[in-house]
Amino acid sequence: MKKKYSAALDRSPPWARRVTHVLFAFVCVACLFPILLVFAISISDEATIAQHGYEIIPRMLSSRSYEYVLSDFQQIMRGYMVSITITVIGTVLGTLITAMIAYPLSRTDFPFRRHFTFFVAFTMLFNGGLVPWYLVYVKMLGAKNTIIPLIMPLLINGFNVIILRTFISANIHPAIIESAIIDGAGELQIFFKMVLPLSVTGLAAVALLVSLNYWNDWYNALLFIDTKKLFPLQFLMYRVNISIQVLNTSSFIPDAAANARTRLPNETARMAMSILGIGPIVLAYPFLQKYFVRGLTLGSVKG
């Protein structure tokens, strides 16, 4: 339908098309430039930077910043492991329990539907604020420096429940469920054998949104984690941004001659750490983005 209008029936005047492309070329550069700049700095030589400042095209290449950062290979690897662990566990559990509450809320014959919808929706309206929330985790659950506050806060949110509920009621006709009941299937059986497989698109969209939240999370670590063992990658990156000293770089002994000429690669190492943190998501991006777009439009067309 759309193609018919925009391509066949009508084309905009050539000058307008040219202006559009120039504009988007500019916008695209603006979007990519900062990331490329960080990358360029990370592979630049520290002494040259001290002389000329950060530049998008490195004057002198150097791998010292990566050697420096990766000299604490253990800490970086641990950061990756923590991030991967919480992302996997959080995404699987979060999507599952979101679906487990979204499905009952989608069933019009479930008599408590309105009550529990309110129970979920109210969390989107009102909250106790940061302080009581923090104290519940620290004082009540005693969860400081455990993996619990890295996972639980992002497990479920009202919006995802509502999105998934709407998806299920729009995509699974009540007649299918009714016929399953007549065939003697139990409610749990219906959920796991029918509803989940039929909702894969909606589940995937929610899972992607949730997984990005986990992967990019540093806030919960900022509040609840002091032990380096449990630093997720993004939080490690934040700590390095504040002070490069967080990395245990004593194992890296620069040779005396090089040290006389150059400072330790503080500035470039910071950027190298950022690239190690940003890298995976940017690399995965081309493969993931179309599912994200689908997920977003799923949520917005009828929220």
Among positions 257-296, residues that touch other proteins (CB under 8 A) are 267, 270-271, 274, 277-278, 281-282, 285-286, 289, 292-293, 296
The residue within the footprint of other proteins, chosen from 47, 84, 89, 100 (CB under 8 A), is 100
The answer to whether 117 contacts other proteins (rule: CB under 8 A) is: yes
Q: Is the dihedral of CA 40, 211, 284, 298 positive or negative?
A: negative
CA–CA dist 136, 152 (Å, integer):
12
Which residue from 275, 253, 273, 251 is spatially nearest to 264, judged by alpha carbons?
Answer: 253
What is the number of residues in the chain?
303
The number of helices, as runs of H, and strands, as runs of E, in the chain is: 17, 0
| Tokens of residue 298, six digits | 């799923």
**Residue ranges in 22-61 that form contacts with other proteins under rule CB under 8 A:** 23-24, 27-28, 30-32, 34-35, 37-38, 41, 49-50, 52-56
Decide whether 72 or 267 has the Cβ nearer to other proteins: 267
**List of long-range contacts for 250-258, beta carbons under 8 Å, 24+ apart:** 251/71, 251/72, 252/67, 252/68, 252/71, 252/72
Give least dist CB 256 to other proteins, A: 25
Give least dist CB 28 to other proteins, A: 4
Which residue from 238, 222, 210, 220 is spatially nearest to 150, judged by alpha carbons?
Answer: 220
For 169, other C-beta atoms within 10 Å of its C-beta total 16
Give least dist CB 49 to other proteins, A: 5
Decide whether 77 or 141 has the Cβ nearer to other proteins: 141
The answer to whether 212 contacts other proteins (rule: CB under 8 A) is: yes
- Judged by CB under 8 A, how many residues of this single chain contact other proteins? 110
**Residue ranges in 125-164 that form contacts with other proteins under rule CB under 8 A:** 125-136, 139-141, 152-153, 155-156, 161-162
DSSP label of 153: G
**Residue ranges in 57-96 that form contacts with other proteins under rule CB under 8 A:** none
**Residue ranges in 176-195 that form contacts with other proteins under rule CB under 8 A:** 186-188, 191
Type and span of the H or E element at 234: helix 233-242
The residue within the footprint of other proteins, chosen from 10, 197, 250, 260 (CB under 8 A), is 10
The answer to whether 256 contacts other proteins (rule: CB under 8 A) is: no
Decide whether 242 or 260 has the Cβ nearer to other proteins: 242
| Tokens of residue 289, six digits | 């983005």
For 244, other C-beta atoms within 10 Å of its C-beta total 18
